[in-house]
Structure 1
């Protein structure tokens, strides 16, 4: 078995190699003057089981094309099995058509990865597990919640886990079980045209004097987290911290979240982060558990 480190790994490939003692080969990569990517596997590898690590954080399109180039090159080398390990799977939000004529982006992305030569897929906490069926082959989901919970335990006294919408409820349940805490959720709705998030129905949250952990799969602009934090404070939360697997922090999201009363943000290294701003959890152990 060999790990191939792609062009967008954020050190996860190196950490995975250390944990598993599987040898790592980094791809050679450069950008031509016109912006196109050059990819080369620096060793001839054949008849091997290959683990390709490549995250699809921004610039998503470039990293996606580079993943396809890596996969097809390894397939052309006649290897036995190629597993694409994609810590952050871009284009996962659009898994169904909300309006007529919309592209099913996750279907297109996973279909292309399959056709390029991936025989199996490992992802970290996808937006929805069922959307991975578009890959059509072996799929495993790596769960970083145990590592996130271990870090949260250092920072809270009387925890309460809050999902910022119904879709995150199962994730909140998993974290609550790790923390031996109660959990609940807020029902929200998002304007399909503007993207604005509004709380639809606000249940009574029994969080008075508690440390509330808001858990979600992704932080984009932070609007969902901010709305949930506001609700928690309205019901008497002592403090609010945010935990998310994938954090993009678009449109000054970090600053807005801090100004919205979120005391601390815990996230993973599926996307590069500033360690002076957030607590970063390595996902390599969760991937290793799936190998």
Structure 2
């Protein structure tokens, strides 16, 4: 069987220096770990093609004045370069001092630093692509009352600054791209990388209708879970959230109950996929409900496992046999406490991003990268 990315051979990515413009990777403070991994892949491919590159990363920084004002600095020429800006708007571990007080950077701060660095390029780049795994403001994706539309406005800002492409992962609502119909927008789902990690972490999984099932945690996550169920050839169930629309708590109508729709889960291993585990309460409620229905093992996945309330509740659920594993990507900041947990499995997406960077730089089609169906089939066939 031919490789699904046969027209995207690693050894030919930088062949003959046939790129459109010299590649430059500008990594904000928030994404240093991921940026270094991406850079290693790019260097290896260039070296395999007989080219001499020490690094594709262009040195930059966003220092702060003591008053809190900041500025973006790019430390070498980028004139005519094909620039890729990498930012993690969810990395709250980054700090700066303001009037002597240590402040943790918010998504607003990270987005502002991104704009500062784009400004620092002074319009001299050949093309600008922004890689923003957590799309800034994406949880405020629609207007229900007199509300701001942060994500749509932010995308328009980037377009007005000369950004040609935005690459994001598992956007809360990808329809937000309608705000910028003339700008490139790729919403990427790392489904192959997720399944690869899941099957390595639980090698005894039997992927068939009698032993395995996919369950959507709510109606909003149906599309991604439907994809997993379809490519794996298993049944799909779902929960819907019954809410109290008479009250608003923390900006949202509180959930009264999780109601299940679907076939029996008794004796089956369950896989649940969502875009984000925030507090984790909803995911745990669903896990406990599935256990009441005699599900065997439960594996949860979220592209962004941020655990805003800590991991203690998941520790207890793991000890009690409710949750067997949680998968999360390295697309955003993970605490050391989370990464050390026995039940947490990290999904590395750095190579996938490197593919995108190389393909865009070479003006190659990314359709093969976006559709990993053949790779998933090959993965399942090798088990």
Q: Find 2:345's aligned residue among 279, 285, 289.
A: 279
State the partner residue of 1:270.
Answer: 331
CA distance in 2, matches of 1:87, 1:197: 28
1:187 shift after superposition: 1.1
Cross-structure match for 1:13: 35
Larger Rg: 2
CA gap 1:11/1:256 in 2 versus in 1, 3 angstroms: same
1:146 aligns with 2:168: no
**Equivalent position to 1:169, from 222, 233, 241:** 222
Q: How many residues align?
A: 288
Contiguous gaps of at least 5 residues in structure 1: none
CA distance in 1 between counterparts of 2:158 and 2:300 reads 32
| Kept in 2: contact 1:225–1:257 (CA 8 A) | no
Distance 2:187 2:220 in 1: 17
**Structure 1: distance between partners of 2:306 and 2:256:** 21
Structure 1 CA distance for aligned equivalents of residues 162 and 69 of structure 2:
21
Match of 2:180 in 1: 135
Q: Does 1:42 align with 2:75?
A: yes
Q: CA deviation at 1:133?
A: 2.2
Question: Any residues of structure 2 matched to 1:100-139 within 5 Å, and which?
Answer: 101-136=146-181, 137-139=183-185
User: Contact 2:271/2:298 (CA < 8 Å) preserved in 1?
Assistant: yes
Is contact 1:10–1:272 with CA below 8 Å preserved after alignment? no
Distance in 1 (CA, whole Å) between partners of 2:59 and 2:236 is 42
The offset of 1:29, in angstroms, is 3.3
Over the aligned positions, Cα root-mean-square deviation in angstroms equals 2.0
Query: As a proportion of its length, which structure holds more strand?
Result: 1
**Whole-Å separation in 2 of the counterparts to 1:64 and 1:289:** 24
Do the aligned partners of 1:220 and 1:250 also contact (CA within 8 Å) in 2?
A: yes
**1-side partners of 2:59 and 2:172: how far apart?**
28
- 1:111 Cα deviation from its structure 2 partner: 1.8
**Corresponding residue for residue 130 of structure 2:** 84
SS where residue 264 of structure 2 aligns?
A: coil
Length-normalised TM-score, structure 2: 0.70
Deviation per CA, 1:73-116, whole angstroms, max 9, x where unpaired? Answer: 22x141111000001113111111122x1111211221222223
- Change in Cα spacing, 1:25 to 1:225, as seen in structure 2 (3 Å) is same
2:113 to 66, 69, 72: 66
